Structure 1
Amino acid sequence: MAKLGMPSVNVAFEEAGIEAIERSKRGIVALILEEPQDTITKLLTDHTGTDNSTIKAITNPFVIFTTDDIPSELTDNNKDYIKKCLIGYTKTPYRVKVYLQATGDEKSSTSADKFSATLKKLATDRFDYLAIPTITEAQCETVATWVKTNRENKFKKIKAVLPNYDADYEGIINFGNTSIVTKNKTYTPAEYTARIAGLIAGTPMTISATYAPLAEVIDCDKHDLDENDEKVNKGQFFIWFDGEKFKMSRAMNSLVTTTQGKLEAYQTIKTVDIMDMMYDDIRQTCQDYYIGKYTNDYDNKCLLMSAIMGYFKELEQGRLLQKDYSTIDINVEKVKNYQLEHGLYTKEELADMTEQEIKQLDTKKQVFLTAKIKILDAMEDIDLPISI
């Protein structure tokens, strides 16, 4: 009988690639908002509206797609944060997930672990960017550490927008303004993180948020060009005035210190977004369609590589990856190390084998792969000498 292989895996990865292109157009923002406890209690239970009709209870968290979904019972500030988040950029965020937390007393408002219970709930949810409009300096470190722990140890590639916090980490966007003025209100940088998170989430991955205009802003802290360059080099993402309009700076995260394996590409918001998306897609699709479902022989490894390559090709077609550059193969060096560590072959025996023979060796439950891709950045720096 002919071997049919793994069509479900191939289809799943192709669909993941197609969905990735669609998903790259918009993202999900999580907002932690504070409300009086009696307001939260009212929202979570059926109650009577102003027209004497029964209003069905919402859940905590609840999801916002448009301004029509904003509960009327929220404070004006919280309604405004959600509206600002929904502005987005070329698109609105795909959705906004609102987590309500009871307003605490004056002492708890500056506590470093003020949002810990809500963050614990957030850790089980799916979102891209987090903003907390009432966050204080004392809580930024706690939130940044929580983001880093989830990204590094818990397989959750989440990010947060924090006000004036030098995290030096790709998962934290350091919003670097000190004051933002619109026609109706003056905002602190913490309050405006909701707007910035929505702007990033509403930026398609085929472009960047660099120089994204903010039509609602009429004033902010201003700096000369050298100072703006210095702010960018410090890993800040901020609003600046170009002489005519207010717009965002270069779309960078807070990573300043580059290391081997984490170079300049990790400093751009766009590149990290694409890396995170690919990590999530490949990990989840492998879990759902491959792990535990097929024998770990060479033929099935090849079929898995073919499926992942199909995913890469979809991203190339979507202009997220450089066309005809992506590759995937079995990691020969890791297969060799596995054989040596488990005493299956000696160095001399492995030296006598061809690379193809090594690729076909049994690795029990382990699958060692290696891939190469090139993520496309947005056009940002134009060099055009003109001779006359």
Structure 2
Amino acid sequence: MTVTMPNIDVSFSQKAASLPERSERGYAILIVKDDTSAMFNYKEYSDITEVDTDKELYTEDNLQYLKDIFTFAPYKACVVKIGNTATISDALKIVIENVKTGWITMADGRTEDFTTLSSWIKSQVANKRTYKAVVYNVTSPDEKHIVNFVNTKITFSDSRGERTGEKYCPSLIGILAKCNITQGCNNFRCTNLSKVSEVDDRNEALGAGKFILINDGADVRIARGINSLTTTNGKSATEDMKEIEVVEAMDLMQDDISTTFKEDYLGGGYKNKYDNQILFISAVNGYFKKLSANGTDVLDEEYENKSDINVEKQREAWIEAGTNEAKDWTDIQVRKNTFKRSLFINANVKILQSMVDLDFAINLA
């Protein structure tokens, strides 16, 4: 067997159709090109007063984008600052060095910047990292960690007035970082806008994985909290995974379970035997129970959210390794015959989603 890095792969297979507040989920990561000051390339802010203190470090436009983010009070705003001649690829290296997850966009990004960001997000997903991005009008990104905003014009409520759509990407990462796992962003009111130029066909746009804003009387609202996923397979990519709040919950569980395994089990003196696997599974199931407790509302408490040994996958591993008698082992024999350094675990969970679609029939006597 080829020697590789330990493989920590927490996957979700949905079998049902369908928050504690986690501050580390609420990071809005803004990439700016700004030569105003070369004193730093990464900085974190917790509130708008800290931004005001540093106002001399940014151009007027970039300072305004930071203020736009804090209009919606995310947990933190992280600024990655690069020079005007640098590239977004340079900035993304700084992101990895400083923050492990969050919503990313680029201020005044061009088409090629957003395309590069989309490709980078996909590469991070392949490496089991849970960064997410807001991009502007990218051609079919088709990825549950990418929100593809497409409105061509937006009108700010302040003196800026009407601007092109990409100017709202910083505000959107503020909104999505604010919502994180605590609430869906469906019908969210964009308080710093007075009007938008709407798409011609709302349903067509949503069906194509496009994130749109709509006019609702005097308000501007998010039509529906969807990402750009359009290609589904019924298992690893489902209809539910088109919803931002579902992916937020999936990423929360992936990060938490993977981190717990790395910190508490990997190299921690736990040999790969049945009893230790059961300890790990018990810990995960306890975690699921907390996510379904009253007031948490990540998982449905009426559903049996449970992880267990993946008997069939473990059996297949033994057979592929040349142990043909594993075909005839009972399930309990498979469970107790752990496979080398690998844990094969699966879980069935039901993620709660916001109330969005109402079917209400009134029958008259």
| Bucket of the pairwise TM-score, normalised by the shorter protein | 0.7 to 0.9
Structure 1 residues 223, 371: CA separation in 2 closer, same or farther (over 3 Å shift)?
closer
| Alignment match, 1:263 | 238
- Measured against aligned partners, the alpha-carbon deviations of 1:7-59 in whole angstroms (never above 9, x if no partner) come to xxxxxxxxxxxxx72306961011001112xx222xx1xxxxxxxxxxxxxx4
- Measured against aligned partners, the alpha-carbon deviations of 1:154-183 in whole angstroms (never above 9, x if no partner) come to 221111101112311111101121111123
| Alignment match, 1:277 | 252
| Alignment match, 1:339 | 318
In the alignment, structure 1 residue 28 sits paired with structure 2 residue 32: no
In the alignment, structure 1 residue 122 sits paired with structure 2 residue 95: yes
User: How far apart, in 2, do the equivalents of 1:138 and 1:363 lie?
Assistant: 46
In the alignment, structure 1 residue 325 sits paired with structure 2 residue 291: no
How many residue pairs end up in the alignment? 334
| Alignment match, 2:210 | 236
What SS class does the counterpart of residue 40 from structure 1 fall into? coil
TM-score with structure 2 setting the length: 0.87
Structure 1 residues 95, 375: CA separation in 2 closer, same or farther (over 3 Å shift)?
same
User: How far apart, in 1, do the equivalents of 2:74 and 2:333 lie?
Assistant: 49
RMSD over aligned Cα atoms = 1.8
Aligned positions of 1:286-325 closer than 5 A: 286-293=261-268, 294-317=270-293, 318-323=296-301, 324-325=303-304
Structure 1 residues 223, 188: CA separation in 2 closer, same or farther (over 3 Å shift)?
closer
Q: Is the 8 A contact 2:195 2:219 kept in 1?
A: no
Letter in 2 for 1:76: E
Q: Is the 8 A contact 2:103 2:177 kept in 1?
A: yes
The Cα of 1:248 is off from its aligned counterpart by 0.9
Gaps of 5+ in 2: 1-18
What SS class does the counterpart of residue 31 from structure 1 fall into? strand
Q: Is the 8 A contact 1:65 1:94 kept in 2?
A: yes
- Measured against aligned partners, the alpha-carbon deviations of 1:299-345 in whole angstroms (never above 9, x if no partner) come to 11111100010111111111101114211111111221122122234
- Percent identity over the alignment is 29
- Measured against aligned partners, the alpha-carbon deviations of 1:184-230 in whole angstroms (never above 9, x if no partner) come to 11332222100011101111524210111122211210356xx1112
- Higher mean alpha-carbon deviation, 264-273 vs 59-68, is at 59-68
User: How far apart, in 1, do the equivalents of 2:245 and 2:132 lie?
Assistant: 12
- Measured against aligned partners, the alpha-carbon deviations of 1:362-381 in whole angstroms (never above 9, x if no partner) come to 31211111111011111000
Q: Alignment partner for residue 159 of structure 2, among 170, 173, 184?
A: 184
TM-score with structure 1 setting the length: 0.82
The Cα of 1:233 is off from its aligned counterpart by 1.2
| Alignment match, 1:78 | 62
Gaps of 5+ in 1: 1-19, 45-58, 109-113
- Measured against aligned partners, the alpha-carbon deviations of 1:134-163 in whole angstroms (never above 9, x if no partner) come to 2111222211101100111x2211111011
User: How far apart, in 1, do the equivalents of 2:338 and 2:180 lie?
Assistant: 42
The Cα of 1:93 is off from its aligned counterpart by 0.9
- Measured against aligned partners, the alpha-carbon deviations of 1:61-109 in whole angstroms (never above 9, x if no partner) come to 0111111111121111111101111122xxx2110110111123xxx8x
